[in-house]
Structure 1
């Protein structure tokens, strides 16, 4: 587990909004200021914009000595953010905001890159690693990949989009691929498209539910999920609904393939897809409370959310932290007096 001192420096007063496995000994967490912990937040009568809240890119490098294992960079002006790993031209973590800001760190570099906002049709909703490239999915059927620093290639011109007719129903909120010549992009109201290496084609999908996530599984099939966790499995134009007895009130934030199954999560829990059925994941309680975001790479599954973080490796779960337990430890050790600063007045000034 993280030490109390490191927790107080890195995570106290912040909410995790994404997590990424760069390698089995390099984890990242995106964490945003939790304004509800400010002493003066209820006095103002409104909520701060995400751009007014600092975003931390927190690194957990287990190969380093304990006193230098944890660190963070602070980003300002980032609204809704997500991250993924780029392997070419060098291995880096890349963070984007919905409005197209880009930050990259790794392989001896760290810093902001040129905004991609003017290159996209809509906001950037998801970054995803497919083969060795970093892809972006965005509104109004935006798809592109990062060739190198400040250089992106966009597929969007190859994907039909009529602003007057398609704005309400179109994607994309997520994408995934078996490789760069076999990709699926999803979003909007049943808006699913497939890329075969040369052409993008709209898939005959059997539902007009709002779609949020897609996972190209290790079993050669595609899993697509949306409103209230309703999930479909198939490929091409052949799909069927995944059965479940669970009532899921929220769409999944992440779906990933790990070992022999699809893992799904949102703020309220973690699920598996096994035998074409969606079932509650049988995992330890400390892992269940870490629900929110998922990342799988290099033999490791990382799970993190508002209440904690944990990872699975070689069949063994390991707790990184429980937020509530760490706050209590920080108080007991004199690292936290239960009061965070009055940030609202600082923002207003």
Structure 2
């Protein structure tokens, strides 16, 4: 007989351990976990023909507009590849920042799996502007150049900055004027919206975004993201591309249930506000420490300080984080929905002690 006692599932890790390398380190929010358990009873039709996915579509069309089309997927890279494939003609390319996740951290999946080239622009703060896009040599109608078809932005950005709705609208107007499509990588869209005190729609539909990779995992889910088509006339084939991209879940109800737990109410906002608040607390706690240099303002849930390399290396033996810029010694500290004040205070105290050590 199978042992179903709780002892069979004793954690093998120290549940008190906290890392600051990524908000992906956090577990599943209890409300999300409860939603997965609640969805586990009985049979539901596979591949998205279930009541949970139907309800998710209702909820997200209320959030983003009646025109929105919702495609739950497993992970952020899959969401980005699927969204960009659906928006990019075979002969076109994607324009983004040099720090963009689709360029730096997805092992060339957009190019290798998606089949399109990614062109990049260097930016001082991880954000594109109309001026930067206009200055880019797009070589329109040059058959030797992969023509730009999509502009992709991230909010909040990979360097922790946040686009306002007005900034996105300015980009969208230029993008649409040129006949292109605007994609938003929203793996941390919840953090951006919470930081600005606005809704998700203000930073997407109302700002002119055409297709969205909606993040759930960093907001407290286990494995749940979604591609949300906001301009159906500008993209094509998402239904088929999801299957070809190996992102069509047979038991989709469990993916949809997670996103429902986040977005049917305000859990996404509560989690994001908490993570953002912990990042600000961490920045404030180390701001007066001699040897710590905060080169950027905390806008969402990331802190990017510069410390002496040997200090960071000693701290990394006890706390998980990594170097963001090896040449300067800049590191990245991320806070999550479950980061506590005591986590932050203990880490800040360790930073202070290391810098005070002879």
Give TM-score, length-normalised by structure 2: 0.23
Which structure is higher in RCO with an 8 Å CA cutoff and minimum separation 6?
2
- Identify, as 1 or 2, the structure richer in strand: 1
Q: Which has the larger radius of gyration?
A: 2
- Identify, as 1 or 2, the structure richer in helix: 2
Give TM-score, length-normalised by structure 1: 0.24
